[in-house]
């Protein structure tokens, strides 16, 4: 009997400790307050840094890291730190990160999201916190059409790119365009935009599914449509086998795809099948990118900046410029981003009222696959 | 709905479906053999196939095979590919049985435990080939002389050509090879199970394990044999796949495995000839369906076929039982 | 090595049984007090700041995730595990398509509660409602549960007559069908673009919401844990009722159960429907909290993760499966260096647990006995090996 009293007392004591602990503790997370010193601060970058699609996002992360590193070297008394948050591209993972970043007042700006889904999911949270978001690669058109006040992107949106593809196809005198997409938000989005702009030139279309590996039905449709161009909206994983099987089946139509294919794995995976394929990308050829970015990136990481490397750099640069100008609160930085007006390495950066890059400043390039290289072909006219 | 497209090129779609289904059928054999003898679904069999395709990929890259080699070399590469894929897949299947299934059988674990183990194994293999292998190798593997060789996509071994055309139906050399090779492999297996001493052992265990054991059949050896046989068939499928599609990924097994399983059930699981019939049937249904709707509904079509078959004829088209496959 | 693990495991089990026996030896009011303290700890967790324990928080590492947000995920995974445990652990039906019910629950609140959903837009148009109109959260909860129960029955009716392993594959197919339909039926679900502005208890997400605001995730955790506690209580009652005993009878020997007058099909269908409803409820909370869903969040890997939570934790035992859920949701967040290998680890964990310890970390007593019976049978009849 006595023992059970001891136990009961113990339980009560534990409960009491808990209550006390709850009363007198820091709610944790972050150190609160703004950065010390006259200059500098902390920004966050989030995106799919691991997982299936990390390959598309890593260059952007590296670009941003490079920008921060260069800045800190050049400005020893203006320290900027950047914290990485790996969402694996999953909106459900990005949401608690957004809570974390928004709730931690030491974060003054956000680079991301890298995909449209995670951007869409977290936009209201950052907006409520008054944090600016600068996305290097979320291209879905409707992201900026929802009346948001804190989302900016240093990349052209899907409809701009689709317009450029349409004008390219028209200039190539395309008569029968067959459109295929992977039914993903990105692939279907850009393909639908293109369909609208091409109108009667679209002879037929098909949708495939992610991780599909055999494309007989699609290829047979392309054949019977006698298409002269095939546009594929989607990513490398499906595009490489598709184009390879198309060529093996004797389809001669030219293959055109958007920036989702701007990935060295595409020509590699198609092993020869992708020869001559055209890839459009709202990204500058590395040697055209401003300043020494391309060389610096090459030096730092040992490879050429891939997709969105320059955009990642620019995204970070926007904030770095803000810090340099002595901005120290979220509101100041948001206002600074909104009014940003400078030459970046990927393009001239100036945002319109909705947060898109001023359409006249967007540059879209066509690249062509030669062997295993993606070689710049020409700059495209926007619609 | 694209009825005109389907009717207009019915022959073409049928041919496409047959050559697609032939690969399903080869993989389905692995499920059928194991199920016929042990009454359990070897869910990890899809990864046995996946390992086979990677073996072919690495082999061809190590040999430095270029696109469209001369015929003599092409045949050599294919034969080497078959050997390597069969060894890799057969070895993987055997390893699965030794490392995972045998301890479970010792404990007389219920079937669901086997299934969960198999799912776990499948996940392990997918991740090993997706995450660990590329990181370990960095996309580079030393060749036989120790020189680093970049792992790239698969070369095209045989250039696709239309051999002959009947009406508006073209049949390509690759489709013909895939189909003939698959049927030949299956005939070989059928002969092995039905006409040889080892095959008789397999049938005996499938019909009645206790009696077979009393009659002096070594059950353990039979079980190893069926895993190896299933693995070899998956290896053959991996080679045909590599030749036809020229690419592989760590994730190709999952959906393909489910479809092969569907094919096995469709034909009557445990029944070798049923696997062939089920595979071909599923291939055709899928191509028809993808043509009628759009290709992104293809998997739904396969799964719906599976559910419908299991509901109305769970023993499949030809009925189950490896033991009575001859009847 | 394996023997070492085994003996360590044995010590752990002895300890666990010891704790269990002591707990049962306590008097009623002591148990009640202990439970109250435990519940208090659960509610206190998101504030965790006791010196020496803060390293548990996921935001104590660089790039770590929001602690309350992670706890919320743990809580809904516990809910999932409890639901799946009814199907797998209690009734012995392996459901590999549980994500399907989770998705239906999430889509219920999205399709009926968000002004951005095609369904709500269609209703607005048909009935001349203002563009801000949408079904309220509480009614969405009801819709989610009803819809998932119906889909559970619809899936179970034709398939529950199948053998166990066939059932597993069919349910796997079902989960995939739900995902592919959600992705392809653009007119119904917005397809791959997903649905945003999914409401919470206070209506659509907005910075003006007082409790369930956009930045603080703690209220969401408290909401979820409340649901978990209610469901734990209800399922526990169910487990010890006639239905629960019928499930066990069906699981251990269907034919014997039938002979004894327990009609297996009926009880299996009940298990399926109740499990589905719990999956739907967790999906509902998930969708509602994230305020955004798209079909990529419901892929087949998650179904397998759910099964892993149940079998690793110890199927049949509610404490076990909850522990499994918490471990599998929490560990990858706390130890992010292994983020790339998390699926590899899950797979290995499943295999190892199944081979070395098929009853799971915290086994159900009955289940452990059943498995050791089978193993003993195997030893008696070596010919069957």
Choice between A37 and C171, residue whose per-residue pLDDT is larger: C171
CB-nearest to B115 from C94, C300, C344 is: C94
CB-nearest to B124 from C162, C164, C344 is: C344
Question: What per-residue confidence (pLDDT) applies to B319?
Answer: 76
As a whole number, mean pLDDT of residues C281-309 equals: 92
Residues from chain A contacting residue C214 (CB–CB below 8 Å): 99, 102, 124-125, 128-129
Calculate the alpha carbon distances from A346 to A60, A151, A177, A307, A380 in Å: 12, 19, 30, 11, 15
Report the relative pairing of strands A177-181 and A202-207 from DSSP bridges: parallel
As a whole number, mean pLDDT of residues A234-251 equals: 88
Helix residue ranges, H only, chain C: 2-25, 28-44, 67-85, 98-113, 118-126, 137-159, 164-184, 186-189, 218-239, 242-252, 254-259, 264-290, 300-313, 318-334, 342-356, 365-380
pTM of the shown model: 0.90
Please tell me the number of Cα atoms within 13 Å of B324 on its side-chain side: 8
Over 90: is that where the pLDDT of A55 sits?
no
For chain A, what's the residue count?
A: 383
State whether residue B256 sits within 8 Å of chain A by CB.
Answer: yes
- Model confidence at A25, pLDDT cuts 50, 70, 90, reads very low
* ipTM of model over 0.90: no
Q: Give the model confidence (pLDDT) of B289-319 as tens digits.
A: 988 888 888 889 888 888 888 778 878 888 7
Q: Which residues, at least 6 apart from A283, have a Cβ–Cβ distance to it below 8 Å?
A: A155, A259, A262, A307, A308, A310, A311, A346, A365
Q: In 3D, which of A214, A52, A30, A219 has the Cα closest to residue A108?
A: A30
Over 50: is that where the pLDDT of A31 sits?
no
Phi, psi (deg, nearest 5) at residue A83: -105, 135
* Pairwise CB contact (< 8 Å): C351 & B117: yes
Give the nearest chain C residue to A209 (CA atoms).
Answer: C180
Q: Give the model confidence (pLDDT) of C322-361 as tens digits.
A: 999 999 999 888 887 777 788 898 999 889 988 888 888 8
Q: Which residues of A lie inside 8 Å of B (Cβ-Cβ)? A: 182-183, 206-209, 211-218, 220-221, 224, 237, 240-241, 244-245, 248-250, 268-273, 372
CB-nearest to C180 from B108, B258, B300 is: B300
* Pairwise CB contact (< 8 Å): B123 & C344: yes
Q: Give the model confidence (pLDDT) of A201-213 as tens digits.
A: 999 989 998 878 8
Write out the two tokens for C220.
Answer: 């969401």
Question: What per-residue confidence (pLDDT) applies to B327?
Answer: 34
Phi, psi (deg, nearest 5) at residue C262: -95, 110
**Structurally, what CATH architecture does the domain formed by B3-142+172-324 represent?**
Orthogonal Bundle (1.10)
* Pairwise CB contact (< 8 Å): B8 & A224: yes
Question: What per-residue confidence (pLDDT) applies to A10?
Answer: 56
Write out the two tokens for B220.
Answer: 């353990």
Question: What per-residue confidence (pLDDT) applies to A6?
Answer: 54
Q: How many CB atoms lie within 10 A of CB A106?
A: 17
Write out the two tokens for B240.
Answer: 């045909």
A81 forms beta bridges with A42
Phi, psi (deg, nearest 5) at residue B310: -65, -30
User: Of C43, C56, C75, C193, which to mutate for an interface test with A (greatest number of A Cβ within 10 Å)?
Assistant: C193
Residues from chain A contacting residue C296 (CB–CB below 8 Å): 89-90, 117, 184
Where chain B has pLDDT below 70, the residues are 1, 134-152, 320-327
Residues from chain A contacting residue B126 (CB–CB below 8 Å): none
Rounded Cα distance between C356 and C360, Å, is 9
Q: In 3D, which of A323, C266, C371, A40 has the Cα closest to residue B108?
A: C371
Q: In 3D, which of A313, A60, A53 has the Cα closest to residue A186?
A: A53
As a whole number, mean pLDDT of residues C241-247 equals: 91
* Pairwise CB contact (< 8 Å): A188 & C63: no
- Domains of chain A in sequence order: 5-156+286-351 (3.40.50.2300), 158-281+364-379 (3.40.50.2300)
Residues from chain A contacting residue C297 (CB–CB below 8 Å): 90-92
As a whole number, mean pLDDT of residues C119-141 equals: 92
Q: In 3D, which of C323, C312, C297, C322 has the Cα closest to residue C360?
A: C312
Question: What per-residue confidence (pLDDT) applies to B144?
Answer: 58
A residues 127-156 near C, CB within 8 Å? 127-129, 140, 142, 146
Helix residue ranges, H only, chain A: 2-23, 54-74, 91-103, 116-129, 158-171, 185-198, 216-225, 236-248, 265-269, 293-301, 309-324, 330-338
Choice between C26 and B93, residue whose per-residue pLDDT is larger: B93
Q: How many CB atoms lie within 10 A of CB B183?
A: 15
Please state, for a pLDDT cut of 90, what percent of chain A lies above it: 39
Distance from CA of C383 to the nearest CA of B (A): 7
Distance from CA of C264 to the nearest CA of B (A): 18
Q: Give the model confidence (pLDDT) of A64-80 as tens digits.
A: 999 999 999 998 888 89
Choice between C82 and B65, residue whose per-residue pLDDT is larger: C82
CB-nearest to A207 from B13, B153, B294 is: B294
Distance from CA of C12 to the nearest CA of B (A): 22
CB-nearest to A185 from C44, C54, C294 is: C294
* Pairwise CB contact (< 8 Å): B105 & C385: yes
CB-nearest to B247 from A220, A224, A269 is: A269
Over 60: is that where the pLDDT of A14 sits?
no
* Pairwise CB contact (< 8 Å): A218 & B290: yes
State whether residue B99 sits within 8 Å of chain A by CB.
Answer: no
Q: Give the model confidence (pLDDT) of C277-287 as tens digits.
A: 999 999 999 99
SS3 A235: coil
- The top-scoring range by mean pLDDT among A290-304, A355-369, B234-248 is B234-248
Residues from chain C contacting residue B320 (CB–CB below 8 Å): none
Q: Which residue has the tokens 């035992």?
A: C317
DSSP character for B98? I
Strand order in the sheet with A364-370: A202-207, A177-181, A229-233, A254-257, A278-281, A364-370, A373-380
Rounded Cα distance between A111 and A312, Å, is 8
As a whole number, mean pLDDT of residues C268-282 equals: 94
Average pLDDT taken over every residue of chain C: 88
State whether residue A181 sits within 8 Å of chain C by CB.
Answer: no
* Pairwise CB contact (< 8 Å): B252 & A213: yes
* Pairwise CB contact (< 8 Å): C169 & B111: no
CB pairs under 8 A between A and C: 155
State whether residue C53 sits within 8 Å of chain A by CB.
Answer: no
SS3 B141: strand
Report the relative pairing of strands B162-166 and B148-150 from DSSP bridges: unpaired
* Pairwise CB contact (< 8 Å): B108 & C96: no
Q: In 3D, which of B264, B205, B202 has the Cα closest to residue B42?
A: B264
Distance from CA of B247 to the nearest CA of A (A): 7
Distance from CA of C8 to the nearest CA of A (A): 28
Taking the domains of chain B in order of start, what are their residue ranges? 3-142+172-324
Question: What per-residue confidence (pLDDT) applies to C376?
Answer: 80
Question: What per-residue confidence (pLDDT) applies to C374?
Answer: 80
- The top-scoring range by mean pLDDT among A365-374, C5-14, C45-54, C140-149 is C140-149
Rounded Cα distance between B111 and C259, Å, is 23
Distance from CA of A309 to the nearest CA of B (A): 21
State whether residue A199 sits within 8 Å of chain C by CB.
Answer: no
């Amino acid at each position: 009997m006595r023992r059970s009293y001891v136990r009961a007392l113990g339980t009560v004591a534990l409960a009491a400790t808990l209550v006390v602990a709850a009363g007198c503790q820091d709610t944790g997370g972050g150190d609160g307050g703004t950065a010390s010193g006259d200059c500098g601060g902390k920004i966050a970058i989030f995106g799919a840094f691991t997982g299936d699609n990390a390959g598309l996002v890593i260059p952007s992360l590296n670009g941003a890291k490079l920008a921060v590193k260069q800045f800190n070297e050049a400005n020893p008394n203006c320290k900027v730190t950047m914290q990485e948050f790996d969402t694996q591209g999953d909106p459900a993972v990005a949401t608690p990160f957004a809570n974390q970043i928004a709730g931690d007042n030491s974060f003054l700006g956000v680079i991301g999201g890298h995909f449209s889904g995670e951007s869409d999911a977290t936009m209201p949270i950052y907006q409520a916190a008054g944090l600016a978001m600068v996305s290097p690669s979320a291209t879905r058109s409707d992201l900026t059409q929802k009346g948001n006040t804190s989302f900016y992107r240093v990349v052209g949106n899907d409809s701009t790119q689709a317009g450029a593809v349409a004008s390219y196809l028209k200039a190539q005198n395309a008569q029968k365009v067959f459109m295929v997409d992977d039914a993903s938000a990105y692939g279907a989005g850009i393909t639908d935009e293109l369909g609208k702009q091409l109108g009667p030139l679209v002879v037929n279309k098909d949708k495939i599914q992610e991780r599909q590996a055999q494309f007989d039905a699609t290829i047979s449709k392309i054949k019977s449509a006698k298409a002269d161009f095939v546009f594929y909206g989607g990513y490398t994983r499906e595009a490489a086998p598709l184009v390879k099987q198309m060529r093996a089946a004797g389809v001669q139509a030219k293959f055109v795809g958007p920036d989702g294919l701007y990935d060295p794995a595409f020509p590699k995976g198609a092993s020869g099948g992708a020869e001559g394929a055209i890839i459009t990308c709202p990204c500058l050829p590395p040697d055209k990118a401003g300043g020494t970015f391309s060389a610096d990136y090459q030096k730092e990481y040992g490879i050429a900046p891939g997709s969105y490397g320059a955009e990642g750099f620019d995204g970070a640069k926007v904030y770095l410029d803000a810090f340099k100008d002595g901005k120290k609160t979220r509101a100041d930085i948001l206002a600074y981003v909104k009014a940003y007006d400078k030459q970046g390495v990927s393009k001239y950066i100036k945002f319109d009222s909705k947060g898109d890059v001023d359409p006249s400043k967007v540059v879209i390039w066509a690249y062509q696959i030669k062997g295993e290289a993606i070689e710049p072909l020409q700059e495209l006219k926007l619609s | 709905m694209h009825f005109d497209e389907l009717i207009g090129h019915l022959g073409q779609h049928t041919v496409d479906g047959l050559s697609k289904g032939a690969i399903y059928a080869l993989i389905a054999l692995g499920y059928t053999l194991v199920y016929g003898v042990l009454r359990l679904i070897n869910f990890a069999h899809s990864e046995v196939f996946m390992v086979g395709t990677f073996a072919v990929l690495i082999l061809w890259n190590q040999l430095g095979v270029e696109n469209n080699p001369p015929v003599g070399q092409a045949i050599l590469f294919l034969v080497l590919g078959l050997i390597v894929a069969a060894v890799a897949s057969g070895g993987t299947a055997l390893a699965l049985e030794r490392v995972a299934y045998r301890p479970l059988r010792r404990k007389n674990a219920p079937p669901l435990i086997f299934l969960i183990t198999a799912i776990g194994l499948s996940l392990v293999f997918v991740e090993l080939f997706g995450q660990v292998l590329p990181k370990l190798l960095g996309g580079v593997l030393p060749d036989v002389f120790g020189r680093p060789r970049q792992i790239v996509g698969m070369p095209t071994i045989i250039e696709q050509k239309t051999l002959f055309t009947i009406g508006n139906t073209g049949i390509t050399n690759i489709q013909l090879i895939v189909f003939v090779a698959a049927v030949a492999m299956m005939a070989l297996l059928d002969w092995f199970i039905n006409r040889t001493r080892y095959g008789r052992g397999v049938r005996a265990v499938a019909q009645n394990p206790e009696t077979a054991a009393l009659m002096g059949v070594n059950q353990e050896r039979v079980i190893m044999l069926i895993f190896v046989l299933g693995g070899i068939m998956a290896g053959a499928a991996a080679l045909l796949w590599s030749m036809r599609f020229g690419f592989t990924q760590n994730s190709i097994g999952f959906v393909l495995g489910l479809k092969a399983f569907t094919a096995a059930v469709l034909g009557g699981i445990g029944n070798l000839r049923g696997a062939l019939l089920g595979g071909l049937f599923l291939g055709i249904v899928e191509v028809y369906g993808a043509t009628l709707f759009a290709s992104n509904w293809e998997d739904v079509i396969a799964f719906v076929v599976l559910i419908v078959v299991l509901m109305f004829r769970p023993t499949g088209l030809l009925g189950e039982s490896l033991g009575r496959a001859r009847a | 090595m394996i023997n070492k693990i085994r003996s360590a495991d044995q010590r752990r089990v002895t300890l666990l049984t010891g704790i269990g026996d002591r707990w049962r030896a306590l008097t009623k009011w002591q148990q009640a007090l202990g439970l109250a303290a435990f519940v208090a700890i659960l509610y206190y967790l998101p504030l965790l700041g006791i010196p020496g324990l803060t390293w548990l928080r996921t935001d104590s590492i660089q790039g770590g995730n929001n602690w309350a947000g992670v706890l919320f995920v743990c809580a809904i995974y516990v809910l999932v595990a409890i639901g799946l445990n009814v199907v797998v652990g209690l009734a012995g039906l392996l459901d590999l398509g549980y994500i399907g019910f989770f998705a239906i629950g999430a889509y219920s609140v999205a399709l009926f509660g968000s002004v951005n959903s095609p369904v709500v837009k269609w209703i607005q148009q048909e009935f001349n409602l203002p563009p801000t109109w949408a079904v309220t959260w509480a009614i969405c909860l009801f819709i989610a549960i009803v819809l998932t129960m119906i889909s559970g029955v619809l899936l179970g009716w034709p398939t529950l007559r199948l053998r166990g392993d066939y059932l597993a594959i069919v349910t796997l197919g079902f989960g995939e069908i739900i995902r592919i339909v959600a992705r392809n039926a653009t007119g119904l679900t917005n397809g791959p673009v997903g649905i945003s502005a999914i409401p919470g208890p206070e209506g659509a997400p907005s910075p003006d919401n007082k409790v369930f605001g956009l930045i603080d995730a703690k209220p969401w955790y408290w909401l979820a844990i409340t649901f978990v506690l209610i469901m734990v209580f209800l399922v526990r009652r169910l487990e010890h009722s006639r239905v629960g005993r019928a499930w066990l009878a069906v699981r251990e020997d269907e034919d014997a159960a039938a002979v004894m007058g327990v009609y297996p099909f009926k009880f299996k269908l009940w298990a399926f429907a109740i499990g589905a409803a719990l999956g739907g409820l967790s999906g509902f909370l998930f969708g509602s909290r994230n305020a955004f869903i798209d079909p990529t969040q419901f892929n087949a890997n998650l179904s397998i993760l759910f099964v892993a939570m149940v079998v690793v934790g110890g199927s049949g035992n509610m404490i076990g499966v909850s522990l499994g859920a918490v471990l599998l949701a929490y560990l990858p967040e706390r130890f992010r260096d292994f983020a790339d290998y998390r699926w590899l680890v899950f797979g290995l964990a499943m295999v190892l647990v199944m081979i070395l310890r098929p009853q799971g970390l915290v086994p159900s007593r009955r289940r452990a006995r059943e498995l050791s019976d089978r193993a003993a049978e195997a030893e008696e009849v070596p010919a069957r090996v």
